[in-house]
Amino acid sequence: MNNIQFFKYQGTGNDFVMIDDRSESFDLNNHLLIAHLCSRKFSIGADGLILIRNHEEADFEMIYYNADGQLTSLCGNGSRCVVQFARQLGMIANQCNFMTVEGILNAKISDGLVYLNMPDVKDIEIHQNHYFLNTGSPHHICFVDDIDNHDVFNHGKKIRNGAPYFKEGSNVNFVKSIAADQIFVRTYERGVEDETLSCGTGVTAAALVQGLNGAKSPVKVKTLGGDLQISFEKDNNGLFKNIQLIGPAELVFSGTISI
């Protein structure tokens, strides 16, 4: 039986199992173990698992798995949490760059908040009843009137598994515009296959759609797990750049689990 030291972090209710794997001893292909560690009924429980490793070109590398145990696309809230974790480990001070599936991203910690620089976004597809864009992860965005009572699980599951996404799937964000610069976002996340309390790439996508429709930066975002902000610049060609996902990231608890 082996013991694994872990740290549990959350960013506006999006929670993650963090493991210091600078020794590179964790089996990256043990998807069943990763899914087990993320199980809320039988193990630690989380929306995803993150390994932190050394990297030759950046301050560190982030390896992210969804709760189903599979490697996946960029996780915004997980990225904010791993920045706090890196500081806890003494790997960084208040600024860093780190390797992700989207390449090297920059971040800073200031006044208790993590400012994460997100990838630029150019193409926002406008459809009859929704928008689609990729902010490091794919997002289907639709606006709803009664967001408090919306059936996020069943509606989101149907969209995630339906055309044109099918097996690969898309995250699904339901958005309510509160004011020109403020929105409420609820998310069905692929890989978790459920509603999560917050989704960093999702709120970024929703805020950029709000920006496409005339909102000024920053856009304030309410989620079930807390409040975030998205700042951005938009050029004359429709490119969104200098995008920042801004919000808290906190250590919840740490421990050792035997496997």
- Let me know: does 118 contact 107? Beta carbons within 8 Å: no
Burial of 77 (0-12, 13-18, 19+ CB in 10 A): buried
- For residue 229, the number of C-alpha atoms closer than 13 Å in the C-beta half-sphere is 12
CA distances (Å), origin 178, targets 57, 147, 185, 232: 42, 11, 10, 19
Confirm if 186 and 223 have CB atoms less than 8 A apart.
Answer: yes
Q: Token pair for residue 143?
A: 């606006």
What residue has token string 């904010």? 80
In sequence order, the 6+-apart residues with CB closer than 8 A to the CB of 99 are: 55, 57, 58, 60, 61, 62
The answer to whether 83 touches 92, Cβ cutoff 8 Å, is yes
β-strand 48-53 against 95-100: which pairing, if any? unpaired
Contact 1, 7 (CB under 8 A): no
Q: What's the CA gap between 171 and 188, in Å, rounded?
A: 6
Question: Could you list the active site residues?
Answer: 75, 199
